[in-house]
Amino acid sequence: MNFGILGSGSWGTAIAKILTDNGQTIYWWNRNENAINQIMLRRHNPHYLRGAYFDTAQLKLTINVAEVFAHSDCVIIAIPSAYVETTLKALDKNIFAGKKVISAVKGILPEQTLLLNDFLKNEFDVTLDNYFTILGPCHAEEVAAEKLSYLTFSGVDEMMTHHIAQYFKTDYLNTIENNDIYGVQYAAVLKNIYAVGAGMAHGLDYGDNFLSVLIANSADEMAGFLKMAGIKNVEVGHTITRTNNYAASVYLGDLLVTCYSLYSRNRTFGNMIGKGYSVKSAQIEMSMVAEGYHASKGIFHINQAIKADMPIAEIVYQILWEGLSVKEGFNKIEPILV
């Protein structure tokens, strides 16, 4: 199987490292031609994960998205959710024909408030049986350092999901498989919102005791949303009966690492808000995308239909989008925690 990668941020770079460590030659899209030249010259991405070195003979780097599709059986989309639509909308409507798609996107596409698979279905007629996800718990920085990590692959075609996962097994990375495409994506979106909230709490100088209760309540809130969402894989003509354990790694595990880790950009973003930064100044200071910012708005609107009880996520949304002060927001959170 020939792999192509769209996106050259931390996560895209980590995925490129995993595949090339396993001997794969990859087509890799980078919108910055100067960065491409630097990768070929220095053997590492000059902007992200500088400690991850590549054998440049395994890299086919290009600024042309269509070239990646032309040479790939399986295209991995690792673009921040806010930029997916503008990157893909200019492409030919048939470009995904015959391709497997792996989403490494951890957010909701903000323009249409959609998960990536729904956007691809609407715009490019990508069916759910050709769509797979690759999610955590896994920080790109620890992949670069070759610290033991776990990736979860989801797809309704369980045999193909297993086949794809085998390309990512290394001595520093284990793979897990399930068929909960919607659930794992919504969990990835929600954990970023709660990590922003955890960062806010840290910035406000709450202690570990409070943080543990906040995260435990966030986990319960997330499980409630996933259950009430009641997603069924109707596009492939059947309903998959699930007994998902929301304490598993791709749900609770990813929530925990994103809320606690110093590598977490969502936690960092929230910490800055808690310390008094405005949203705009925090974004400028970070110079990286915190998916929880757009995700908070997307989930708020999606939940108008689902009507899950989500006071923590809603207060994070109000702080980020409606001008609620972070201190007043946490004054509202304190008494509702159990």
Per-residue pLDDT tens digits for 213-228: 999 999 999 999 998 8
Residues 6+ apart with CB under 8 A from 127: 121, 235, 236
Closest C-alpha among 224, 64, 195, 214 to residue 136: 195
Query: Which pair of structure tokens corresponds to residue 253?
Result: 């595990």
Centre a 10 Å sphere on the Cβ of residue 145 and count the other Cβ atoms it contains.
Answer: 13
Question: Of the ranges 10-19, 248-257, 314-323, which is most confident?
Answer: 314-323
The structure's pTM equals 0.92
The per-residue pLDDT for 230 is: 67
Residues 6+ apart with CB under 8 A from 106: 11, 81, 135, 188, 189, 192, 291
Judged by average pLDDT, the poorest of 81-90, 243-252, 290-299 is: 243-252
Query: Which pair of structure tokens corresponds to residue 86?
Result: 């503008």
d(CA 146, CA 158): 28
Contacts 24+ apart (CB under 8 A), 313-320: 313/190, 313/193, 313/194, 313/197, 313/218, 313/221, 313/225, 315/197, 316/193, 316/194, 316/196, 316/197, 316/200, 316/270, 316/292, 317/193, 319/200, 319/273, 320/196, 320/273, 320/279, 320/293, 320/296
Output the average pLDDT for the chain: 91
Contact 329, 305 (CB under 8 A): no
Predicted confidence (pLDDT) at residue 184 exceeds the cutoff of 70 = yes
Question: Domains, the chain, ranges and CATH?
Answer: 3-179 (3.40.50.720), 182-336 (1.10.1040.10)
The mean pLDDT value for 175-196 works out to: 94
d(CA 37, CA 126): 33
The per-residue pLDDT for 161 is: 96
Phi and psi torsions of 295, nearest 5°: -60, -35
The per-residue pLDDT for 244 is: 67
d(CA 293, CA 316): 9
Contact 213, 333 (CB under 8 A): no
The per-residue pLDDT for 238 is: 42
In single-letter form, the type of residue at position 297 comes to K
Predicted confidence (pLDDT) at residue 29 exceeds the cutoff of 60 = yes
Measured in residues, the chain has a length of 338
Judged by average pLDDT, the poorest of 38-52, 180-194, 261-275 is: 38-52
The per-residue pLDDT for 240 is: 46
Q: How do residues 103-130 score in pLDDT, each as one tens digit? A: 999 889 998 999 999 999 999 999 999 9
Predicted confidence (pLDDT) at residue 287 exceeds the cutoff of 80 = no
The per-residue pLDDT for 241 is: 44
First to last CA, the chain: 49
Predicted confidence (pLDDT) at residue 303 exceeds the cutoff of 70 = yes
